[in-house]
């Protein structure tokens, strides 16, 4: 005799389990709705945060489209790399290793300035946070990203730190570099450059050619950053 006991609760749980299983290919789900929408939402959020920081804080002063392009692609690459590999057991050293790898990058065509390297580090950090924080409450992730934006805005807004620009100058009036002639040096540089100079540092001195390298600090008329201020020779 065949036993026909029927438990509705067990049947409902089994049906729900079957309904939750989608099509697979070689043991891998072809489509996971929850994971798919999570990817889209987090990707859009990460891209928006990085875009705000790069567009309104970095690009507003530097106007470097090449670095704008680089930072955005770094953000996309790091986020997708970490998000899609989240199911693979990884130690925190893997994520921190990305900082070490990309943080030591130097482009062969030119020396990357400290400001660009700082923004690159920030973009990588934001992407790592958003890509690996799957088990962190959404509110905490949102607040962390808000802190990134807020601190960057405060440091770029001149509200707490007075920003000055600097420029390298090859100076020929070597007699004025003496400490007792500092006022005359400042007056001469201000008259010849038209800059509001507030500080002068004397660098390399060449007595054979009677020239010296000076680094002058001045109040810039605009917030834009001059990317060739520190060039001392033609390439």
Residue 194 and residue 124 in one domain: no
Total number of domains in the chain: 2
Q: Which helix (H) or strand (E) holds 198?
A: strand 196-206
Q: Residues 161-199: pLDDT tens digits?
A: 666 788 889 999 989 999 899 999 999 999 998 888 889
Determine the structural domain holding residue 188 and report its residue range.
Answer: 165-219
Is residue 206 assigned to a domain?
Answer: yes
User: Is residue 214's pLDDT more than 90?
Assistant: yes
Is residue 207 assigned to a domain?
Answer: yes
Sheet holding 165-171, edge to edge: 165-171, 211-219, 196-206
Q: Residues 64-113: pLDDT tens digits?
A: 888 899 999 999 988 988 888 775 655 556 655 655 665 555 554 456 77
Is residue 132 assigned to a domain?
Answer: yes
- The number of C-alpha atoms within 13 Å of 230 and in the hemisphere containing its C-beta is 11
Residue 190 and residue 74 in one domain: no
Measured torsion, CA atoms of residues 54, 60, 63, 67, in degrees rounded to the nearest 10: -10
End position of a domain, from candidates 109, 139, 156: 156
Whether the model pTM is above 0.85:
no
Residue 125 and residue 169 in one domain: no
Tell me what pLDDT residue 155 has: 86
Of the given ranges (12-16, 20-24, 42-46), which has the lowest mean pLDDT?
12-16
Residue 134 and residue 184 in one domain: no
Residue 41 and residue 68 in one domain: yes
Percent of residues, the chain, with pLDDT higher than 70: 68
With the C-alpha atoms ordered 113, 218, 68, 81, is the resulting torsion angle positive or negative? positive
Percent of residues, the chain, with pLDDT higher than 90: 34
DSSP 83-104: HHTTTS---HHHHHHHHHHHHT
Residue 176 and residue 65 in one domain: no
Distance from C-alpha of 193 to C-alpha of 198, rounded to nearest angstrom:
13
Mean per-residue pLDDT of the chain: 79
Which long-range contacts link 112-118 to residues 24+ away (Cβ below 8 Å)? 113/227, 115/58, 115/62, 115/225, 116/62, 116/64, 116/67
* Average pLDDT score over residue span 132-161: 87
Is residue 231 assigned to a domain?
Answer: no
Residue 191 and residue 208 in one domain: yes
Is residue 204 assigned to a domain?
Answer: yes
Angle at 153 between CA 147 and CA 159, to 5 degrees: 120
Is residue 229 assigned to a domain?
Answer: no
Is residue 171 assigned to a domain?
Answer: yes
Angle at 150 between CA 148 and CA 155, to 5 degrees: 95
DSSP 128-170: HHHHH-TTS-HHHHHHHHHHHHHHHHHHHTTSSS---EEEEEE
Residue 70 and residue 123 in one domain: yes
Is residue 96 assigned to a domain?
Answer: yes
């Amino acid at each position: 005799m065949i036993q026909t006991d029927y438990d509705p609760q067990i049947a409902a749980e089994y049906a729900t389990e079957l309904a939750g299983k989608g099509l697979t290919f070689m043991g891998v789900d072809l489509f996971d709705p929850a994971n798919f929408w999570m990817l889209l939402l987090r990707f859009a959020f990460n891209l928006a945060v990085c875009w705000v920081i790069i567009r309104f804080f970095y690009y507003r002063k530097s106007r470097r489209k090449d670095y704008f392009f680089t930072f955005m692609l770094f953000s996309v690459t790091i986020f997708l790399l970490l998000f899609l590999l989240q199911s693979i057991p990884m130690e925190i050293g893997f994520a921190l290793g990305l900082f070490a790898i990309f943080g030591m990058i130097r482009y062969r065509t030119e020396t990357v300035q400290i400001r660009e390297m700082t923004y690159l580090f920030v973009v990588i950090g934001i992407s790592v946070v958003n890509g690996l924080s799957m088990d962190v409450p959404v509110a905490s992730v949102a607040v962390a990203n808000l802190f990134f934006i807020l601190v960057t805005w405060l440091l770029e807004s001149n509200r707490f730190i007075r920003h000055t620009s600097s420029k390298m100058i090859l100076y020929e009036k070597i007699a004025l570099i003496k400490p007792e002639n500092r006022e005359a040096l400042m007056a001469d540089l201000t008259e010849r450059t038209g800059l509001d100079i507030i500080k002068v540092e004397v660098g390399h001195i060449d007595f054979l050619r009677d020239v010296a390298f000076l680094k002058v600090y001045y109040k810039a008329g605009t917030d834009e950053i001059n990317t060739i201020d520190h060039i001392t020779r033609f390439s």
